Chain A
Amino acid sequence: MKIATISRDELTLKIFDLLAMIAPEADFDDLDPNVDMRDELDIDSFDFLNFLIDLNDEVGVEIPEADYGKLVSLNDLLDYLLARM
């Protein structure tokens, strides 16, 4: 589903919802939006791949594997998605 307009905060919540499926123990309130979120949340490469595939389905933004490396922090991911929505 393509979401026409979405605020940064709404998108953040969507991302947290999806991340919580992989890392239900994570405390997202404590997540610094500028740090390496995989390292911070103990998300391995395979989990991250699945997360991005789910995110693609959820927000309708195609994220090719070649771009995965650009998406290090939460802010990287938000900037990337918002620029393409």
Chain B
Amino acid sequence: MAFHRVIDPVTTHTIRPNLLNYHATRATFTWDEIAAELDFLPGGSGLNIAHEAVTRHANNAHSEQVAIRWISKHDAIYDFTYADVEEESNRFANVLQELGIGKGERVFVLAGRIPALYFAALGTLKNTSVFCPLFSAFGPEPILQRMQRGDARVLLTTQKLFKRKVKEILSELPDLKFVLIADIDEHISDHILSLPLLMDTVSAEFVIPPTDPEDMAILHFTSGTTGMPKGAVHVHNAVYHHYMTAKYALDLHPNDVFWCTADPGWVTGTSYGIIAPLLHGVTNIIDEAEFDAQRWYRILEEQRVTVWYTAPTAIRRLMRLDFDPLEEFDLSHLRFVASVGEPLNPEAVVWGRDVLDLTIHDNWWQTETGGIMIANFAGQEVRPGSMGRPLPGIEAAIVRRINSETVQVIEKPNVDGDLALKPGWPSMYRAYLHDQARYDKCFVDGWYLSGDLAYRDEDGYFWFVGRADDIIKTSGHMVGPFEVESALMEHPAVAEAGVIGVPNDVIGELVKAFVALKPGYVASDELNRELLGFGRKKLGSAVAPKEIEFRDTLPKTRSGKIMRRLLKAWELGLPEGDVSTLED
């Protein structure tokens, strides 16, 4: 199959890649090797992600090394050593104890990339409660849906987000016990509390209780195609995979300065923006600000970033700049660049080679997998446009669904099918919370079916083809059309809504809604804008449609289900395919 060109592995390494011989490493790899590099809780009392990420470093010679370097929107830089992060996360764990929040209870965080978010994540894990991040650009509706489904007990947020998005939904969250506000100095009421005030009154010492590796640690919501978002349950055992993938797929070495640009509201920003770098004891850069091309190059230069994990949307924005970055910025410290979120187009990989003098290594995984599954590696041949090859310990295949109980593995190369993984890796999700049926449906005949379509070439490189369902990949995250349609349907003018992703050069896909109006309403520019605004107010900019088109009717099956596939075919001028189920 076509690819632009092969990028040969770099053979002169200043730092020797952790994975030099792909086949040999895969052949001999065992998870016991990784266990030997972990610490485990003292006295055989289990495995806790926060102990591995923070406590063990705070207790050894690493304690004074910078764990988190936080850069504020206004360019103030705050360094937190491993000892500092240990103390702050201990305090947060003690706050939860004081509030009577215990094992397994869900602690949600709705915030930008502020230090409190990181201490809360780690403190929640220490307390054996469950960390559940929410993207701060969600509107009230996605926040409510996720907090209800996730049985939220505590929410950490900021004044502004509380006022804008949370206050109005509080009455629908009767089981939420406390809201902690990160940027107020006084408590507002018995259950809306100042986090700084609480943190000041508790001890900086905390002993992590016994933690079963299978205890729930993190809950990440991911979009569904037919229903509301699903809460993917991850356990402390996932730490094996976080550690292993940071070693092999991100090639982390001691003394690296690592920058993952993803927001912790998404799984990448948690697995690799919080946990993985700390597991390896390196310095983790966190930038509070949103994407800004000049700023990002400046951070890479000034912070001497060595390993950078970013996203296609950002890379394509950098490609728009009309200057040569290497003439303006010293990026000589940068050794390894990786990308995830949606497939990185081959032109972007070639651009990296030509303009940055660096290969950009695309990789593939999803919320359910908890960590990187398939990757292009440092020191290995890169095929631009390909997601790479499976990690050690990961078995991936292309399969064809025969029926609901059987799949057939496609051995022949270059044939499209379902991208499937052999279950059993440590960071695999253990459940969709409260939704066993949807979880079970993902596992067929001994394989986890990812929902992505792909093919494998003759050398074992995997290539993304598309989604097997209607989920939209936009700006590196997933949007479920059902969630968007449901929100639009709440507008009095809307009779039906069908939502699709329209291909877009910058953000991958753009969320577009087709709307049929109720009798008595007339399509107009004014109503179009009203609906756009309505969607944004409910869903927030991260989820809301960016385009709306009116249609007299929407194509439906005889059972009344909107045929998004057909809307997409019409939009893109593609063949309609099978229309036998279309209503008359």
Contacts and interface: CB of A to CB of B under 8 A. Distances in A.
Interface of A: 20-21, 23-26, 36, 38, 42-47, 49, 64-69
Contact of B532 (A24, A42, A44): A24
Identify whether the interface residues of B are mostly helix, strand, loop, or mixed: loop
Given A42-B137, A44-B137, A44-B475, A68 B529 contact: no
B493 interface: no
Contacts of B536: 23-25, 42
Interface residues of B, number: 28
B467 interface: no
B502 to A, nearest CB: 13
Given A38-B290, A42-B536, 17 more contacts: A21-B529, A23-B536, A24-B530, A25-B536, A25-B537, A44-B137, A46-B313, A46-B506, A46-B507, A49-B317, A64-B322, A65-B322, A66-B293, A66-B294, A68-B293, A69-B293, A69-B295
25 contacts: A20-B529, A24-B536, A25-B532, A25-B533, A25-B534, A25-B536, A25-B537, A26-B533, A42-B540, A42-B541, A43-B541, A44-B541, A44-B542, A45-B291, A45-B475, A46-B475, A46-B506, A49-B317, A64-B321, A65-B320, A66-B322, A66-B323, A69-B292, A69-B294, A69-B295
Contacts of B322: 64-66
Nearest to A68: B292
Contacts of A25: 532-534, 536-537
A80 to B, nearest CB: 14
B317 A65 contact: yes
Contacts of A47: 541, 546
Nearest to B291: A45
Given A44-B137, A46-B506, A65 B290 contact: no
Interface in B316-335: 317, 320-323
B551 interface: no
Interface in B269-309: 290-295
B16 interface: no
> Which residue, A25, A43, A47, A49, has most C-beta atoms of chain B within 10 A?
A25
Contacts of B401: none
Contacts of B317: 45, 49, 65
A47 B322 CA distance: 20
B561 interface: no
Nearest to A49: B506
A4 B211 CA distance: 69
Interface of B: 73, 137, 290-295, 313, 317, 320-323, 475, 506-507, 529-530, 532-534, 536-537, 540-542, 546
A23 B507 CA distance: 18
Nearest to A47: B541
A11 to B, nearest CB: 22
B491 to A, nearest CB: 12
A24 B541 contact: no
Nearest to B296: A69
Contacts of A66: 293-294, 321-323
B293 A65 contact: yes
Contacts of B542: 44
A47 B547 CA distance: 11
Contacts of A67: 294
A36 B160 CA distance: 13
Which 5 A-B residue pairs are closest in the complex by CB-CB distance? A25-B533, A69-B292, A24-B533, A24-B529, A44-B541
A36 B292 CA distance: 13
B288 to A, nearest CB: 11
Contacts of A49: 317, 506
Contacts of A64: 321-322
Contacts of A46: 313, 475, 506-507, 546
Q: In the complex, which of the residues B536, B540, B546 has the most CB atoms of chain A within 10 Å of its own CB atom? A: B536
A70 B532 CA distance: 28
Contacts of B295: 69
A5 B125 CA distance: 59
A38 B507 CA distance: 18
Contacts of B292: 68-69
A4 to B, nearest CB: 26
